Amino acid sequence: MEQDIIIRKAIVGDVPSISETINVHAPKGIMLPRPISQIYDNVRDYHVIEYNGEIIGCGALHVTWSDLAEIRALSIKEEYIGKGYGRRIVERLLDEAKELEVEKVFVLTYQDKFFGVMGFHEIDKAELPHKIWSECVNCIHFPNCDEIAMLFPLV
């Protein structure tokens, strides 16, 4: 089965599958929805994981400042959750952050246990720069954000 798994940078043709993978979780309240236009705008941030040619998950690394990046939109199709694919995408995104010489990576998440196992630690949202909140005005939870901020230091 391992030989059938590929993790790669996303291409434009992957956007509909990325959107479907993310937005199936949004109604359950475990992820925020992402408009397809936003995924196209940020397609260069995304990695996808394929199994037998089918996209089964995705995640994005978005650089927010000279020393800081965010992991966004980490999503695995329901039937593949718990098999280590989310971990593999996060590891790939952290490797990319190291290649870019980013010093720390953060997430805003409802899945704090998963990210805690990955080595992230909880921080106060006030520790993050104001710049990262620019997209929040479009969120259904704004201004009462209940996501948990977590940080992974790379240096």
Return the pLDDT at 131: 59
**pLDDT surpassing 70 at residue 132:** no
Rounded to whole angstroms, what are the CA distances from 146 to 83, 108, 109? 27, 9, 9
What are residue 114's phi and psi, to 5 degrees?
-60, -50
Instruction: Evaluate the omega torsion of the peptide bond into residue 143 and state whether it is cis, within 30 degrees of 0.
Output: yes
CATH number at residue 25: 3.40.630.30
Q: Which of 23-37, 75-89, 105-119 has the lowest mean pLDDT?
A: 23-37
Q: How far apart are the first and last CA of the chain?
A: 34
Return the pLDDT at 33: 82
**pLDDT surpassing 90 at residue 136:** no
Cite the DSSP H helix spans in the chain.
15-23, 36-41, 85-99, 112-117
**Each residue of 7-40: pLDDT tens digit?**
999 999 999 999 999 998 877 777 778 899 999 9
C-beta neighbour count of 35 within 10 angstroms: 11
Could you give the number of structural domains in the chain?
1
Better pLDDT: 72 or 141: 72
What are residue 87's phi and psi, to 5 degrees?
-60, -45
Return the pLDDT at 25: 83
C-beta neighbour count of 39 within 10 angstroms: 23
**pLDDT surpassing 80 at residue 114:** yes
β-bridge partners, 81? none
| Torsion over CA: 111, 112, 116, 120 (sign) | positive
Residue 14: domain span = 2-153
Token pair of 100 as six digits: 């870019």
Q: What is the mean pLDDT of the chain?
A: 90
**Each residue of 63-79: pLDDT tens digit?**
999 999 999 999 999 99
Rounded to an integer, the average pLDDT of 92-114 is 96
C-beta neighbour count of 101 within 10 angstroms: 10
